[in-house]
Amino acid sequence: MKEMRYFSWVFILFASVFYGSAQDLVQLQEHNGKLCHVIEVTDGLNLFTVVQQTGYSGEEILKCNPGSDKGLISGQKLYLPIERKTIIHKVCEKETLFAISKRYAVSVDSLISWNLDSDKGIQVGQNVQVKNAAVRLVSIKTSSQNLADNKGKDSISYQRNFEFNDTIMVYIVENGESLYSLSKRFMVSVERLKELNGLKNSQVKVGASIKIPINDKASIIQGPRPIPKKIDSKSKRVIEGKNQVIRDPKIAVFLPFAIDTIKFPLKGASRSATEFYMGALIGIKDLEAIGLKGQITFYDYLSESTDFPTLLQTEELVGMDLIYAPFHLAQAQLVSDFCQKNKIKIVFPIHLNSSFNETNPYAIQIPTPNNQLALNLAKDLYGFQKGEQIVLVRSNLRADSLLEEAFLAAYKALPNFKGKAKIIMASYNNYMLYHRNTLKTWFVSFDSQKQNIINLLSYTSQLENVQVFGLKEWLDFKEVSSTIENVFEFNYESPTYFNTKEAEVIAFHKRYRIAYQVDISKMACLGYDMFSLIPKIIFLGDAQRQGAISRIDFKQDNDSVYTVNSASFLLKFFEFESIIFENDVE
């Protein structure tokens, strides 16, 4: 009970301060039968600013406002559905129940029913409970307004020179800081800082560069650092054989730490960013071990002190050789446009469910796209088959049929040999007719409709000599992957393979445990792969293409489109676990 009372008190205090403050609020309006915030677009307002200041994701905004991904037009109206919750409102001077009801889009009767004697009048400073209150947004500021408000305020960044023997970062000393305050902030002794930086006393000058070892037990760097005012001269490029390589590349990484508002335990994007970062640090050590020298800057793009549009105009970013894209769609699109304009390679570590980067010839998509996975499945079935019949169960959805056609074209293009199957076309109405217990059968489906998938897996789970090959997205259905009554099996192509029993993962897990005294996660493995593999492939032409959970095989169809990773794993989902597929049908 004490813990619950404490939580309630904190929430009431916050609500009183926030809702009682004098702020301009976004207007409310009915739209498609729902009460929404309505924002009228003005010059200088872009999608990212709306994301940053409202807390709505780019996906939520685009869902409610189709076509906004192509840019906002002055005078256009954006609609955002309201959130409702119970809050405590502190009454301001000259405020009435009617004014409060209008502010939170509730009835006066509702206020009276939840606040004893309020029908007799309310007093300044009184706390009024508002049930089912509309949580109001503060009016949006344009990028130019943000720039004026944040004048003199640096964006948060994390700079690393990956020429080190330990986990070291470079920190620019700010006004009022001392070695003692830095030692407390970064959990390292004053003596260690003096030794590492060759200092005879504890005095440091504002603007000085200080090397700081990151405490292995710390899950994240403890606080903001300004972006360096200048960067070094252009990266050194040398000719080795026929290839031009870069020995000291400059790399920028955008991660959603949101360190201004970070809460523990870490959740969501902040947790993913931290785990990715921790894995990346170990990957950076691998770069140093092979003599790749350079500089990596980590940008916290969800920091409240980051003015994103202004950041994309800085000299630091223009001088980069490689940029890792943000994890969120709106920010990633802005960075992609920046990279295309400045001819900088940009890596997309995660899938963003959008096609905006496909026309950027400098973009590199790491998660293998679904159409490529369909091609890979055709090749893998061709390699594994031993007289099985293949039945393609066709979907009635256009998006699914595109994958089917890619699969068919790839399979038909493979050389004929004795025993190569002729693919049988079936539908969800008649696929049962093509199974015989005496004949090995592979059912292939690219269907995305849950009920069709459940029916197919339920039917085939009772049969012998049958395998089903489907999509990785089927695992998103709890009826497939989380319901103990349905012990389904199927096979699928996947861009990554995270299994703690595999040799590559075990090897990385040991290093990760030593460094941080915690267990690995999939995001930590991805962060490691992005730095142990990608810079070596891009800057050194390295042939190594296998990481902890990733395989890399870059393919670019022509000079006007993006580069994709064409590699994948054929996995079997068996007893609620994914393992490497082996043709075990007898």
136, 166: one domain: no
* Other beta carbons within 10 Å of 439: 12
Considering the domain boundaries, does residue 513 fall inside one? no
Residue type, 142: T
**Alpha carbons 64 and 61: distance in angstroms, whole number:** 5
117, 31: one domain: yes
206, 350: one domain: yes
What pLDDT is recorded for position 235?
53
Give the residue carrying structure tokens 């009016």: 139
Strand pairing category for 577-580 and 127-134: unpaired
**Alpha carbons 237 and 234: distance in angstroms, whole number:** 9
Considering the domain boundaries, does residue 537 fall inside one? no
Considering the domain boundaries, does residue 198 fall inside one? yes
47, 165: one domain: no
Contact residues for 438 (Cβ-Cβ < 8 A; gap 6+): 465
H or E segment and range at residue 503:
helix 503-516
301, 207: one domain: yes
What pLDDT is recorded for position 484?
67
352, 480: one domain: no
User: Which of 403, 345, 396 has its CA nearest to residue 369?
Assistant: 403
What pLDDT is recorded for position 142?
56
Strand pairing category for 490-494 and 569-574: antiparallel
H or E segment and range at residue 78:
strand 77-81
Contact residues for 296 (Cβ-Cβ < 8 A; gap 6+): 159, 160, 161, 162, 250, 251, 252, 253, 284
99, 178: one domain: no
Domain boundary residue among 330, 356, 382?
A: 356
Three-state SS at 18? helix
What pLDDT is recorded for position 227?
32
**Alpha carbons 520 and 543: distance in angstroms, whole number:** 26
**Alpha carbons 160 and 222: distance in angstroms, whole number:** 14
Q: What is the largest CA-CA distance in the chain?
A: 92
What burial letters (b/e) apply to 129-147, b meaning 16+ CB within 10 Å? bbeebbbbbeebbbbeebe
* Other beta carbons within 10 Å of 287: 22
Domain boundary residue among 87, 122, 146?
A: 146
- With 0-12 / 13-18 / 19 or more C-beta atoms within 10 angstroms meaning exposed / middle / buried, residue 273 is buried
Contact 225, 156 (CB under 8 A): yes
Question: Residues for the chain: how many in total?
Answer: 586
H or E segment and range at residue 537:
helix 534-540
**Alpha carbons 419 and 386: distance in angstroms, whole number:** 7
C-alpha dist (Å) from residue 351 to 17, 63, 310, 453: 39, 18, 26, 23
173, 225: one domain: yes
**Alpha carbons 75 and 43: distance in angstroms, whole number:** 9
Three-state SS at 274? helix
198 Ramachandran zone, left/alpha/beta (phi>0; psi -120 to 50): left
199, 306: one domain: yes
**Alpha carbons 397 and 236: distance in angstroms, whole number:** 51
**Alpha carbons 109 and 131: distance in angstroms, whole number:** 11
Contact residues for 402 (Cβ-Cβ < 8 A; gap 6+): 371
**Alpha carbons 167 and 303: distance in angstroms, whole number:** 23
Residue type, 250: K
Domain boundary residue among 81, 115, 146?
A: 146
Contact 546, 504 (CB under 8 A): yes
Contact 528, 282 (CB under 8 A): yes
Output the CA angle 74-77-81, nearest 5 degrees: 145
DSSP code of 152? T
Q: What is the pLDDT along the chain (586 residues), one digit of tens a residue?
A: 223 322 322 333 233 333 333 457 888 988 888 899 999 888 777 776 777 677 777 677 878 888 876 677 888 899 999 988 888 898 888 889 988 999 899 999 889 988 888 888 899 889 899 999 998 888 776 544 443 444 444 445 555 554 433 445 656 676 677 787 777 666 677 888 888 888 887 778 876 777 777 544 433 333 333 333 333 434 555 544 445 567 788 999 999 988 776 666 667 888 899 899 999 999 999 988 888 878 898 888 888 777 777 888 888 888 899 999 999 998 999 999 999 999 999 999 999 888 899 999 999 999 999 999 999 999 999 999 888 899 999 999 988 999 999 999 999 999 987 778 889 999 999 999 988 777 889 999 999 999 999 999 999 988 888 999 999 999 988 888 777 666 789 999 999 999 988 999 999 999 998 888 888 999 999 999 999 999 999 988 876 688 999 999 999 989 999 999 999 999 999 888 899 998 654 4
171, 316: one domain: yes
**Alpha carbons 43 and 144: distance in angstroms, whole number:** 10
Contact 89, 19 (CB under 8 A): yes
Considering the domain boundaries, does residue 532 fall inside one? no
CA dihedral over 31, 37, 43, 48, signed as positive or negative: negative
Tokens of 155: 């964006």
247, 326: one domain: yes
Question: Looking at the 3D structure of the chain, how many domains does it have?
Answer: 3
Please give the residue range of the domain that contains residue 287: 153-356
What pLDDT is recorded for position 368?
95
Considering the domain boundaries, does residue 534 fall inside one? no
E-assigned strands of 195-288? 209-213, 237-240, 243-246, 250-255
What pLDDT is recorded for position 282?
93
Considering the domain boundaries, does residue 538 fall inside one? no
Considering the domain boundaries, does residue 316 fall inside one? yes
CA dihedral over 40, 41, 43, 45, signed as positive or negative: positive
User: Which of 510, 539, 160 has its CA nearest to residue 364?
Assistant: 539
Considering the domain boundaries, does residue 529 fall inside one? no
What pLDDT is recorded for position 264?
63
Three-state SS at 411? helix
DSSP code of 519? -
C-alpha dist (Å) from residue 335 to 48, 147, 322, 348, 568: 11, 19, 12, 11, 27
337, 218: one domain: yes
Contact 295, 159 (CB under 8 A): yes
